């Protein structure tokens, strides 16, 4: 009887945590556009808000003034991501294909993740890592299940930043809930 009761309590706890997580995601997705980005982005002087200078000899090098500590750095202008360890060492860098809606520069945190869903463009996607909303559009990284990374339909508002399947798997492992995401130009 005691084992049965603890199983029920565990089940109810899991259901409650899942419900709270879902409601938190819904609440974050419905924040008015006038509050959405300002509430999530932090004005950090360590992060460049203009185009960070690049190493001309090594364009894949981590841009200076892209934050400190363990983080994901995403350059909107270069369509490139860096997965950066605590010691400022780049674990991985790769090109991405952005959606039609870009996030504002600043510092964010991973707010939700989905293992597999359908993207706003109808494409089955996996390893979805969301970190902000822009004008009601969820912004995050994902990989198409097919592996495709073609340019998005410009008539569809999409915040999906597409990665290859391999890069999406690396992002999924690295960027858990609460991970810092730094967006630069």
- When pLDDT is cut at 50, 70 and 90, the band that residue 44 belongs to is very low
| Cα separation, 132 vs 108, whole angstroms | 7
pLDDT of the residue at 4:
54
Reference 75, options 100, 49, 113; nearest CA is: 49
Q: Are 83 and 89 in contact (CB under 8 A)?
A: no
Average pLDDT, the chain: 80
Reference 65, options 89, 80, 49; nearest CA is: 49
pTM for the whole thing? 0.73
Reference 151, options 175, 112, 178, 123; nearest CA is: 123
Reference 173, options 105, 126, 138; nearest CA is: 126
Tokens of 36: 């959405």
Q: Give 105-159 pLDDT, tens digit per residue.
A: 999 999 999 999 999 888 999 999 999 999 999 999 999 999 988 899 999 999 9
Q: Are 140 and 130 in contact (CB under 8 A)?
A: yes
Q: Which SS3 state, helix, strand or coil, does residue 10 take?
A: helix
Q: Give 75-100 pLDDT, tens digit per residue.
A: 999 999 999 999 999 999 999 999 99
Classify 33-184 by CATH class: mainly beta
């Amino acid at each position: 009887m005691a084992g049965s009761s603890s199983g029920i309590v565990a089940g109810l706890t899991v259901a409650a945590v899942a419900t709270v997580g879902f409601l938190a995601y819904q609440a974050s997705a419905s924040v008015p556009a006038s509050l959405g980005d300002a509430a999530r982005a932090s004005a950090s002087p360590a992060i460049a808000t203009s185009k960070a200078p690049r190493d001309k000899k090594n364009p894949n090098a981590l841009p200076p003034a892209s934050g400190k500590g363990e983080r994901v750095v995403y350059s909107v202008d270069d369509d490139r991501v860096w997965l950066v360890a605590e010691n400022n060492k780049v674990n991985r860098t790769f090109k991405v294909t952005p959606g039609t809606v870009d996030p504002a520069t600043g510092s964010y945190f991973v707010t939700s993740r989905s293992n597999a869903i359908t993207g706003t463009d109808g494409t089955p996607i996996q390893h979805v890592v969301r970190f902000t909303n822009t004008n009601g559009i969820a912004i995050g990284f994902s990989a198409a299940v097919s592996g495709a990374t073609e340019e998005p339909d410009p008539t569809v508002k999409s915040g999906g930043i597409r990665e290859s399947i391999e890069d999406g798997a690396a992002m999924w492992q690295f960027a858990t809930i609460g991970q810092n995401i730094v967006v630069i130009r």
